[in-house]
């Protein structure tokens, strides 16, 4: 069954929506896009100090609140609805999720405590020319002086140019697949680490390239044995991302319907014309089915049941395509004004496209889903 928010969770979502409507307006987003960090620092301070969001899913022993995927889904959906310029996804979902997946250790717990206190973090695993799968990680971690030295590069690191803490997924020499993977930590200003913000299609989610020239990192888990835990952490991150996509869909569908009611042509609201009316109906259907896909994956994640990989990939396929369709149709319904950079529809379109690709595009997830349910490729059966 799909997750159905409790009364407390609905109240939490409603309160967060009001909070973001007041403190994360579109003007703040556009200002944050051009700033050095790429996010609204004052908003992040409020989210930390007033709501404690960075520590939402961090265990109480590390200074967090100890909630799970359902509460994180509430946050992600509202951040998507507001398109808020926040490092929550990079810090709490990606980096925090990777840490929470590992067994407790002094290094892990110290980083989680820092995150719960509002310090930013980034997770780096994607490499130039490679995809989002952990089996494609090739960056080697070489033992040196009680730590592991890194040489190579990572790319598409969300908020990687500004994060206070950097977590790197690397590989021990002579290993392949999920074997030999290690989660390593180092400060953002570590010697031998250079960071550069990338120019990307979606300016609302800052991406960076990290280059390692002998940077010394410290194992957070058990070097060489972190693969399975990190795989689950990425599956949970996919579930969180699809909830963000659903939240953004809610916003663009509402924008499209509201504009169709207000904009008149030939003396009538354009929403009364059959073509526009059908577009809005199709968007509503796509939104409802996306909600079911995302909420089903969230329910499986919250219960810790088998099938999370399949549910996450299925939801990512559906929500990615539905969110992009909604963002594109919203622009069409708005007409010429929707194509301008000054209109919010433009920013939602860019986020929809970047989220469609991030953590694996629909084609990648269909192949992943096929492998998990035992289907063999055409070339394998020929």
CATH of the domain at 293: 1.20.140.10
3-class SS of residue 277: helix
Domain check: are 307 and 169 in the same one? no
| Range 131-155 average pLDDT | 94
| pLDDT at position 259 over 70 | yes
Residues near 282 by beta carbon (within 8 Å), at least 6 away in sequence: 329
In this predicted structure, the answer to whether residue 381 has a pLDDT above a threshold of 70 is: no
* Beta pairing partners, 140: 171
Lowest mean pLDDT among 89-98, 137-146, 178-187, 369-378: 369-378
Report DSSP state, residue 197.
E
User: Does 107 share its domain with 192?
Assistant: no
140: Cβ contacts below 8 Å, ≥ 6 apart: 150, 151, 152, 170, 171, 172, 173
Residue 232 domain-assigned (yes or no): yes
Same domain, 270 and 371: yes
Does residue 335 lie in a domain region? Answer: yes
The residue-averaged pLDDT of 333-357 equals 91
Confidence of residue 337 (pLDDT cuts 50, 70, 90): confident
Nearest to 44 by CA among 82, 10, 6, 87: 87
Task: Confirm whether 282 is domain-assigned.
Answer: yes
Number of helices (H), then strands (E), belonging to the chain: the values are 13, 9
Q: Would you say residue 343 lies in a domain?
A: yes
At 214-230, the pLDDT tens digits run: 999 999 999 999 999 99
- Looking at 208, 224, 240, the residue that finishes a domain is 224
pLDDT in tens, 29-59: 999 988 899 999 999 999 999 999 999 999 9
Please tell me whether residues 90 and 24 are part of one structural domain. Answer: yes
pLDDT higher than threshold 90 for residue 339:
no
Looking at residue 215, its pLDDT comes to 96
pLDDT band at 380 (very low <50, low <70, confident <90, very high): very low
Number of domains in the chain: 3
In this prediction, residue 260 has a pLDDT band, given cuts at 50, 70 and 90, of very high
In a domain, 2, yes or no: no
- Sequence-separated (6 or more) residues with CB below 8 Å from residue 288: none
- Domain termination site, one of 191, 224, 257: 224
Query: Residue 13 above 50 pLDDT?
Result: yes
The pLDDT value recorded for residue 151 is 96
Rounded Cα–Cα distance for residues 125 and 137 (Å): 7
Q: What mean pLDDT comes out for the span 261-275?
A: 87
Can you give the pLDDT at residue 272? Answer: 85
What is the pLDDT, as a whole number, of residue 377? 58
Instruction: Work out the percent of the chain whose per-residue pLDDT is above 90.
Output: 86
Residues 170 and 274 in one domain: no
pLDDT (0 to 100) of residue 264: 83
Residues 47 and 158 reside in one and the same domain: no
pTM of the model: 0.95
In a shared domain, residues 113 and 206: no
- Token reading at 355: 């989220």
SS3 315: helix
Q: Do 131 and 110 share a structural domain?
A: no
Beta bridge partners of 186: 166
- Asked if the model's pLDDT at residue 144 lies above 70, the reply is yes
The confidence band for 269, taking pLDDT boundaries of 50, 70 and 90, is: confident
Q: Looking at the structure, do residues 245 and 368 belong to the same domain, yes or no?
A: yes
In a domain, 321, yes or no: yes
Q: Do residues 316 and 366 make contact, with C-beta atoms less than 8 angstroms apart?
A: no
Read off the CATH number of the domain in which 31 is found.
1.10.540.10
Is residue 252 in some structural domain? yes
Mean pLDDT of the chain: 94
- On whether both 79 and 114 belong to a single domain, the answer is yes
Confidence of residue 382 (pLDDT cuts 50, 70, 90): very low
Q: Which domain holds residue 102?
A: 7-119
CATH number (domain holding residue 208): 2.40.110.10
> Crossing angle of helices 7-23/69-82, nearest 10°?
30
**pLDDT tens per residue, range 186-214:** 999 999 999 999 999 999 999 999 999 99
- Among the candidates 95, 119, 143, a domain finishes at 119
pLDDT, position 261? 92
Same domain flag for 23 and 106: yes
Tell me the pLDDT band of 1, cut-offs 50, 70 and 90.
Answer: low
Whether residues 167 and 291 fall in one domain: no
């Amino acid at each position: 069954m799909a997750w159905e928010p409790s009364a407390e969770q609905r109240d939490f979502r409603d309160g967060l929506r009001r909070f973001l409507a007041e403190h994360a307006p579109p003007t703040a987003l556009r200002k944050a896009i051009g700033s050095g960090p790429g996010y609204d620092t004052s908003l992040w301070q409020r989210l930390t100090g007033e709501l404690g969001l960075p520590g939402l899913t961090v265990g109480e022993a590390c200074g967090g609140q100890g909630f799970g995927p359902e509460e994180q889904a509430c946050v992600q959906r509202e951040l998507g609805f507001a398109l808020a310029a926040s490092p929550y996804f990079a810090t709490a979902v990606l980096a925090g999720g990777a840490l929470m997946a590992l067994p407790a250790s002094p290094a892990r717990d110290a980083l989680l405590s820092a995150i719960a206190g509002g310090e930013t973090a980034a997770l780096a695993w994607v490499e130039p020319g490679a995809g989002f799968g952990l089996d494609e990680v090739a960056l080697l971690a070489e033992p040196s002086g009680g730590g592991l030295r890194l040489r190579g590069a990572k790319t598409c690191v969300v908020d990687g140019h500004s994060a206070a803490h950097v977590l790197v997924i690397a590989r021990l020499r002579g290993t392949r697949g999920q074997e030999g993977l290690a989660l390593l930590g180092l400060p953002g200003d570590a010697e031998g680490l250079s960071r550069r913000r990338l120019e990307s299609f979606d300016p609302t989610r800052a991406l960076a390239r990290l280059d390692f020239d002998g940077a010394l990192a410290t194992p957070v888990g058990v070097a060489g044995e972190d693969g399975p835990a990190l795989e689950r952490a990425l599956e949970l991150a996919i579930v969180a991302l699809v909830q963000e996509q659903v939240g953004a869909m809610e916003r663009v569908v509402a924008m499209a319907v509201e504009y169709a009611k207000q904009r008149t042509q030939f003396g009538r609201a354009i929403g009364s014309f059959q073509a526009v009316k059908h577009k809005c109906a199709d968007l509503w259907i796509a939104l409802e089915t996306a909600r079911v896909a995302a909420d089903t994956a969230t329910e499986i994640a919250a219960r810790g049941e088998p099938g999370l990989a399949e549910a996450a990939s299925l939801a990512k396929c559906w929500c990615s395509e539905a969110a992009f369709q909604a963002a594109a149709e919203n622009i069409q319904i708005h007409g010429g004004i929707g194509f301008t950079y000054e209109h919010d529809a433009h920013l939602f379109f860019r986020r929809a496209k970047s989220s469609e690709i991030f953590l694996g595009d629909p084609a990648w997830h269909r192949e992943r889903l096929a492998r998990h349910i035992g289907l063999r490729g055409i070339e394998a059966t020929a």
